[in-house]
Amino acid sequence: MSDFINVPEIFGSDVFNQATMQQRLSPEVYASWKQCIENGTPLELEVANPIAEAMRLWAIEKGATHYTHWFQPMTGITAEKHDSFIEPAGDGKVIMEFTGKALVRGEPDASSFPNGGLRATFEARGYTAWDPTAFAFVRDGSLYIPTCFFSYTGAALDKKTPLLRSIDEVSREAVRILRLFGDTETKRVIPCVGAEQEYFILPKDLYAQREDLRLTGRTLFGAVPPKGQELDDHYFGTIRNRVSQFMKDLDEQLWRLGILSKTKHNEGAPCQHELAPIYTDCNSACDDNQLTMLVMKKCAAKHNLVCLLHEKPFKGVNGSGKHNNWSLATDGGQNLFRPGKTPRQNAMFLVFLSAFIKGVDEYQDFLRCSVASAGNDHRLGAHEAPPAIVSIFLGDELTAVVESIINGTNYTDPQKSVMRIGVDVLPSIPRDTTDRNRTSPLAFTGNKFEFRMLGSSQSIADSNVALNTIMAEELQQFADALEKAPDFDQALQTLICNALTEHQRIIFNGNGYSKEWKQEAKERGLSNHASTATALPHYVSQKNIDLVTQHGIFTEEEFRARHEIHMESYRKIVNIEARTSIDMVLHQILPAATAYTKSLCEGMLAKKSLGISCAAETDLVGRLSAATDALYSHCEALRKELDGIPEGNEQIVSYYHDVIVSRMEALREQADILEQLTDKSYWPYPTYSDLLFY
Ligand code: ADP
Ligand code: MG
């Protein structure tokens, strides 16, 4: 059958990966490249030249005519500028060329990428440099080179550079801990990430009829249909034929790009789906997730579908998130969050566990801010998504272990009066008892932590920078204390016990969606920043500035630039949404409602002249008129409010949240009433039923 895909054969076939490099580079060049990767040293031009040449030949065989430095600016999406390989040959002909210089360094005309004030306009250029730990690949006729993006002065202008820095930092501190446990082998510890991606798929023709979807990625209006997701008949249900064709195509494209796409299924909401890859190192996982989002959109278009990555495309329907599964592994493949079999291994597990618990408690706000965005505001704390309060779910077994350490009391075995860390064996923690609580924002799932607060459209870089850096900080503190302790076992015992005792408030195994939790979290003193507007000021707290600068993840300037950009992006998004709302009200909703009202009135006149009762029409017209008036007055108010934006970045963000977003909700309420009252043939765009149950 022609549908057959030889997966092992196509997997990674569009990637200039290690195997291809080994095959196509001379042994010397290959060895030099490997050394650069292992030691983190820059690539010399003598090495870059033959690599570029081999890449070019390989890419041209794959049909490429162009190359692009692919980078991840601070907007959260990826950017690319394509140059062809052609060079004039002097005789009116061209040759195909690609030099080592063009491989390692590029200069996109990047003046219009947001830079948060990092780059004065007279120094507008940003530079890109190949990240040789990430493989180049071919897509749509171009050779893609994954790169870092920075200013003339070397300030990081992207999301990849700080991520790479945080990966190195957590590795170094983790290795120090391993040494204390007698591990002399491990050279590097690698953060591992598996990012599960949720998305919506809609028919393109319906999507095209909605200005809100086209301009903002979400519906700004729409009455909830008679049937929602209450029957739960979509979750894991049979996948629609058209969608399954798309998914098959998507998988094939992702596999060709060396992305370990593993699981696909329907999600809770109608038209919602999920894709989960097999986890890989944090840097690749981040690139892969960006690429996955890109390919999803392109591939959907090919199938006359549209892929929505927005966090909340539909009110009253599940939103989309991203589950960032995170763990630490040694270069030898040992997972440091897996409880071990020997007392020694378990003690080490408890060191990493308590460092994580301490770090999350101390830097709740940093984690919260890493997922703050206009889109995610609609999702966090809504009924199907984690709350805006950061807490850790450990499961009953592990919580019992933690409690026994804190209290110095029995744990299961009555013979043991105290569980001595480093001496006693931990009870084995059965995996399947750990992942039952879907309401937790950060859950221990047997050998990894699943951070579930990320929005579906966000880059996973920010959250992983936060996780890696927090972990690096705590491991550093632990290593500092343990390295100079006269009695290691005693010091270990104290360290773990203290960390767990002081930070146990962050552990919560109950229902994160409940009202009671909000109250309890407040009593525990945990942060609850319900919106981006209230969260973002905490991003640049002195504590966070110290954390990121001391670990060399960001300079203070770089960090503040991110803060500026997050605020800027919030207010731009809300501004576009508000203006789109006004546009739709004035040009579509209001005309539809008044036209229908007019036709009702004309009917009433006719009926009255014949002496027939018009009770229904009278009532309907009254309700339509009331909603129309209210709609118009909210629309006018919104227009005026958009003219009254205050000064000052933080004030602007608060104003957009408190004034503009609330007004848009009030406006929507009236529009949705009108939608329900108006004859469908008058309604100017597809309704929720049309979109979700096509
Ligand atoms: P779920 O119950 O959420 O479906 P799975 O075990 O299927 O959990 O894994 C979900 C994601 O977590 C996958 O992307 C998987 O590859 C990833 N994952 C599994 N083990 C690890 C690990 N040690 N570190 C990071 N991610 C992991
Ligand atoms: Mg999951």
pTM of the model: 0.94
pLDDT of 385 above 50: yes
What mean pLDDT comes out for the span 228-253?
76
The pLDDT tens digits of the residues spanning 652-665 come to 999 999 999 999 99
Question: To 10 degrees, the CA torsion angle through 618, 689, 388, 561?
Answer: -100
Closest CA to 248 of 176, 299, 202: 299
Q: Is the pLDDT of residue 598 over 50?
A: yes
352 alpha carbon – ligand 1 mean position (Å):
19
For ligand 1, atom 11: residue with the closest CA: 194
pLDDT at 122: 45
Q: Best substitution site from 192, 260, 264, 279 to test ligand 1's pocket, by max atoms within 8 Å of Cβ?
A: 279
Predicted pLDDT at 426: 63
Query: Rounded to the nearest 10 degrees, what angle do helices 488-503 and 461-483 cross at?
Result: 140
Check if 259 has its Cβ closer than 6 Å to any atom of ligand 1: no
| C-beta of 447 in contact with ligand 1 (< 6 A) | yes
Per-residue pLDDT at 461: 98
Band of pLDDT at residue 17, cut at 50, 70 and 90: very high
pLDDT tops 90 at residue 367: yes
Residue count (the chain): 694
CA terminus-to-terminus distance, the chain: 31
DSSP reduced 3-state for 307: strand
**Residue 249: pLDDT band with limits 50, 70, 90:** very high
Q: What is the pLDDT of residue 118?
A: 72
Confidence of residue 39 (pLDDT cuts 50, 70, 90): confident
DSSP symbols for 525-585: T-----SHHHHHHHHT-HHHHHHHHHTTS--HHHHHHHHHHHHHHHHHHHHHHHHHHHHHI
H/E element holding 196? Answer: strand 189-203
Mean pLDDT throughout 685-694?
91
The per-residue pLDDT for range 443-459, each reduced to its tens digit, is 999 899 999 999 999 99
CB 353 less than 6 A from any atom of ligand 1: no
Mutate which of 262, 448, 450 for ligand 1 pocket (most atoms within 8 A of beta carbon): 448
Averaged pLDDT, 413-441: 65
Cα(446) to centroid of ligand 2, in Å?
Answer: 12
Instruction: Verify whether ligand 1 is closer than 6 Å to residue 451 (CB atom).
Output: no
The DSSP code for 683 is -
Q: Given 3-state DSSP classes, what are the helix, strand and coil percentages for the chain, each rounded to the nearest 5? A: 50, 15, 35
- pLDDT of 419 reads 65
Predicted confidence (pLDDT) per residue in 146-196, tens digit = 999 988 888 999 999 999 999 999 999 999 999 999 999 999 999 999 999
Residue 336 near ligand 1, beta carbon < 6 Å: no
Tell me if 467 CB under 6 Å of ligand 1. Answer: no
| String of DSSP letters for 325-351 | EEEEEETT--BTTS--SSHHHHHHHHH
Whether 584 and 647 have beta carbons less than 8 Å apart is answered as no
Q: Which helix (H) or strand (E) holds 189?
A: strand 189-203
597 lines ligand 1 (CB under 6 A): no
Distance 217 CA to ligand 1 centre (A): 28
Element (H, E) at 668: helix 662-677
Q: Is 368 exposed, middle or buried (0-12, 13-18, 19+ CB in 10 A)?
A: buried
pLDDT of residue 1 exceeding 50: no
Q: Is the pLDDT of residue 430 over 60?
A: no
pLDDT of residue 111: 59
Lowest mean pLDDT among 119-133, 473-487, 502-516: 119-133
121 falls in which pLDDT band (50, 70, 90)? Answer: very low
Per-residue pLDDT tens for 64-103?
999 999 999 988 889 888 899 999 998 899 999 999 999 9
Q: CA 99 to CA 477: how far, in whole Å?
A: 45
Going from the Cα of 323 to the center of ligand 2, the distance in angstroms, rounded, reads 6
Q: Give the distance (Å) from ligand 1 centre to CA of residue 278.
A: 7
Q: What pLDDT does 694 receive?
A: 76
With a 6 A CB cut-off, is 435 part of the ligand 1 pocket? yes
> Model confidence over 341-363: pLDDT tens digits?
788 888 999 999 999 999 999 99
Whole-number Cα distances in Å, 105 to 100, 126, 145, 146, 236: 8, 11, 10, 11, 46
Residue 321 Cβ inside 6 Å of ligand 1? The answer reads no
Near ion ligand 2, which residues have CB within 5 Å? 323
Q: Give, in order, the Cα–Cα distances in Å from 642 to each of 305, 524, 572, 639.
A: 34, 39, 12, 5
**Is the pLDDT assigned to residue 120 strictly greater than 60?**
no
